[in-house]
Amino acid sequence: MICARIGLVTGRGITSNMHRCYPIAITLPLILLLLVANIINIAADLSAMSDALTLAIGGPRHLYSILIGSGCLLLQVFIPYHRYLPFLKWLTLSLFAYVGTVFASHVDWSHVIEETLVPNISLDANYVLLVVGVFGTTISPYLFFWQAAEEVEDIADTPDRKSLIEYPAQAPTELRRLTYDTVFGMGFSNLIAFFIMLTTAATLFHNGIHNIQTSAQAAAALRPIAGDFAFILFALGILGTGLLAIPVLAGSAAYAVAELTKKPASLKLTVWSAKHFYGVIVIATLIGVGLDFTGIDPIKALIWSAVINGIVAVPLMIAVMHMSSLHTIMGDFTVKGKTRLLGWSATALMTVAAMTLGFVSLL
């Protein structure tokens, strides 16, 4: 929400505002960390998607990785993202199967509520690693840049809209819209994530599977409700979320680099008018495809990409919170009150988690 507010108020993306606030010696390393995290994430998503397809229909997984990566590139370069976005969203409806599975698995809800509200905290290295991973896949760095960039894109696309600094009269309506949009989107995605974790606890863990090594094991969580269609349902969910994520991952990296170098940046521009922007998208996606040929394990790759995101997010969150409080950046729309308190609390929590992971890893 704070990142979206920065874009809405200033009419600039996160990198552009960082460039105004900090020397290049601070901004450049943060952008490089974002690039590394995003490319690893693209590779993890491609690996999981190709593995899911192989599981559902058979065939060579590396070929699927090339086809999916090429398809994502062609769509991003030649078709505006917002045009095919609705079709991808339909694929993610398969994720509701996890909700159905929970209710079909006779879960002890009193136990679930108790363990959710009063979890068993442990300093075991694997426990802390997964906590950082959950944080990293929830509050991922690429979301910061994408959220702000989308607000900037919407301002540019609407003739009667301007940044709030230029046109403060729009503030009540736009800030209300931004709040509802972000709270609903993040709330919905986290609810589905909760049910995915609850499904694996009620099915796989309950039956003694405590270490998921393959996509087939992960898909087995859906068997209570999907039966023989579990693999297909699993594949649809992975494909839907992956096809949504890869353009965002590559696009957010491209926004960051283009803003840093002051080049045109928009998925609605033609490839000829934004060569540097689309060049980053192409390079990031191709490296992601290449990493899939290193034989990385899709399940472990997804976990480690989430952990990397959880660590990289810390300095970026500090920068975002600092910028959002500066009058030189935000004018009269600096982040105040409970939003600022929650923002700094989330930043502190992410920092403590990342530092704890570093501490337990050294023991």
pLDDT (tens digit, 9 = 90+) per residue, 47-103?
888 988 888 888 888 999 999 999 999 988 888 777 877 887 787 787 888 888 888
CATH of 2-362, one of 1.10.3720.10, 3.20.20.150, 1.20.1740.10, 1.10.150.20: 1.20.1740.10
Residue 186 main-chain phi, psi, to 5 deg = -70, -40
One DSSP character per residue, 236-249 reads HHHHHHHHHHHHHH
CA distance 43 to 298: 9
- Average pLDDT, stretch 201-215? 83
Helix (H) or strand (E) holding 282: helix 275-292
Entry field: residues in the chain = 363
CA distance 302 to 320: 25
CA distance 51 to 65: 9
**Nearest of 179, 145, 168 to residue 33 by alpha carbon:** 145
CA distance 183 to 189: 10
pLDDT (tens digit, 9 = 90+) per residue, 224-277?
877 778 888 888 888 888 888 898 999 999 999 999 999 988 888 888 889 999
CA distance 101 to 225: 5
- Average pLDDT, stretch 287-309? 88
